C-alpha cells in the first residue's frame, strides 16, 4: 500500500528560510496563512516580512527621489519605509484590540504576521515596477507626471497588500475557525482608515520626488492636511479661479503650499512653483 504524496511542512518552532517565505507570500499564500493560523515560525515570518518591507520600500523610494538628485534619493529611501511603518504603528493597536473584542482567537503575533506579510507583498510590487519608473525618469518625464505616476503606483501596491490581508483573514475565518465573520467588515473599514492615515502621513513626510528647480528639502513644512487641500482645490475649481484674467490677491502661505503636488498633494488649477522656494 502506497501513501499519497504530501507536501513537506515546516516543523513548529523552526526557522523557515528567506526563500521559503518569499515563495509562500508570492505563490503559496494558503500555506502561509495556515502556518500563521497555527502559530508556526512566527518570529522568522515577522523578521523576513520586516526586512523585505524596509529594503524594497527603500529601493523604490530611492528610485522616486532620483529625479531630484542623490540627496533626495537618499531622503526618499528613508522616508518611504517610515511611511509604511508609521502608518502601521498608528493603525495596528486599535485594529487588534477591536478584533479581540469581537471574538478573534488570533494572537497579536499572528495578526501582526498577516499584516506585515501583506505589506511585504506591497513592497515586492513596488520593487517590481522600479524599471518602469526608471524608464520614464530616463526618457525625460517631467516632475508632475512622475509625481502622479508614483502616487498611482504606491496606492496600487497598497491595495494589493490590503487585498492579501483580506484573503488571509477570510482564510482564518472560513477554514481555520479562529476569526469571526463579523470581524471581516471591521477589517474593510480598517483598510480604508489605513489608507486615510497613510495619505496624511505622506503629506507630513513630503517631499518624496522632489523638484529639480528647487533646493533640497528634507521636509516641506505645511499647515493643514491633505484633506483640507482637497477642499481648497475644489473650491478654487468651482469658482473658476486660476484661468487667467485679473490678477488674484496674494496667496496665504497655506494656499501656496496647496499649489504643490508630491505624494499626497493636490495641484489646483492655478498650480505652479512658488517663487523663491
* Contact (Cβ atoms closer than 8 angstroms) between residue 61 and residue 79: yes
Provide the number of structural domains found in the chain.
Answer: 2
Residue 66 per-residue DSSP state = G
Same domain for 247 and 172: no
Same domain for 255 and 167: no
**pLDDT at residue 214, rounded to an integer:** 79
* CB contact set of 115 (below 8 Å; sequence gap of 6+): 88, 92, 165
**pLDDT at residue 91, rounded to an integer:** 94
**pLDDT at residue 235, rounded to an integer:** 67
* Contact (Cβ atoms closer than 8 angstroms) between residue 114 and residue 168: yes
Residue 2 forms part of a structural domain: no
**pLDDT at residue 202, rounded to an integer:** 86
Same domain for 193 and 91: yes
Same domain for 198 and 124: yes
Measured between alpha carbons, how far is residue 6 from residues 39, 153, 203 in Å? Answer: 20, 39, 50
Residue 4 forms part of a structural domain: no
Helix extents (H) in the chain: 18-27, 29-38, 42-65, 70-101, 108-128, 130-138, 143-174, 182-205, 226-238, 253-257
Residue 33 forms part of a structural domain: yes
CA dist 143 and 215 (Å) reads: 14
242: part of which helix (H) or strand (E)?
none
pLDDT digits (tens, 9 = 90+) for 205-232: 888 888 777 787 777 766 666 677 656 6
Same domain for 158 and 236: no
Same domain for 137 and 63: yes
Residues of the chain where predicted confidence (pLDDT) is lower than 50: 1-14, 242-277
Residue 215 forms part of a structural domain: no
Residue ranges making up the domain that contains 250: 220-271
Amino acid at each position: 500500500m502506497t501513501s499519497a504524496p504530501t507536501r513537506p511542512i515546516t516543523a513548529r518552532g523552526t526557522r523557515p528560510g528567506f526563500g521559503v517565505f518569499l515563495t509562500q507570500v508570492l505563490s503559496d499564500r494558503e500555506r502561509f496563512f495556515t502556518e500563521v493560523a497555527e502559530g508556526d515560525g512566527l518570529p522568522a515570518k515577522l523578521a523576513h516580512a520586516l526586512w523585505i518591507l524596509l529594503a524594497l520600500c527603500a529601493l523604490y523610494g530611492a528610485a522616486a527621489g532620483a529625479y531630484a538628485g542623490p540627496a533626495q534619493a537618499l531622503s526618499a529611501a528613508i522616508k518611504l519605509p517610515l511611511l509604511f511603518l508609521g502608518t502601521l504603528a498608528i493603525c495596528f493597536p486599535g485594529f487588534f484590540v477591536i478584533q479581540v473584542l469581537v471574538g478573534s482567537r488570533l494572537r497579536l503575533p499572528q495578526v501582526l504576521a498577516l499584516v506585515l506579510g501583506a505589506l511585504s507583498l506591497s513592497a515586492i510590487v513596488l520593487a517590481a515596477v522600479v524599471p518602469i519608473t526608471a524608464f520614464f525618469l530616463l526618457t525625460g518625464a517631467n516632475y508632475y507626471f512622475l509625481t502622479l505616476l508614483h502616487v498611482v503606483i504606491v496606492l496600487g501596491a497598497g491595495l494589493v497588500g490590503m487585498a492579501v490581508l483580506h484573503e488571509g483573514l477570510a482564510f482564518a475565518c472560513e477554514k481555520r475557525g479562529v476569526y469571526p465573520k463579523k470581524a471581516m467588515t471591521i477589517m474593510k473599514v480598517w483598510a480604508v482608515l489605513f489608507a486615510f492615515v497613510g495619505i496624511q502621513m505622506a503629506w507630513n513626510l513630503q517631499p518624496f520626488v522632489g523638484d529639480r528647480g528647487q533646493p533640497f528639502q528634507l521636509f516641506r513644512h505645511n499647515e493643514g492636511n491633505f484633506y483640507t487641500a482637497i477642499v481648497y482645490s475644489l473650491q478654487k475649481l468651482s469658482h473658476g479661479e486660476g484661468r487667467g484674467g485679473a490678477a488674484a490677491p496674494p496667496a496665504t502661505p497655506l494656499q501656496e503650499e496647496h499649489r504643490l503636488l508630491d505624494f499626497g498633494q493636490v495641484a489646483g488649477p492655478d498650480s505652479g512653483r512658488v517663487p523663491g522656494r
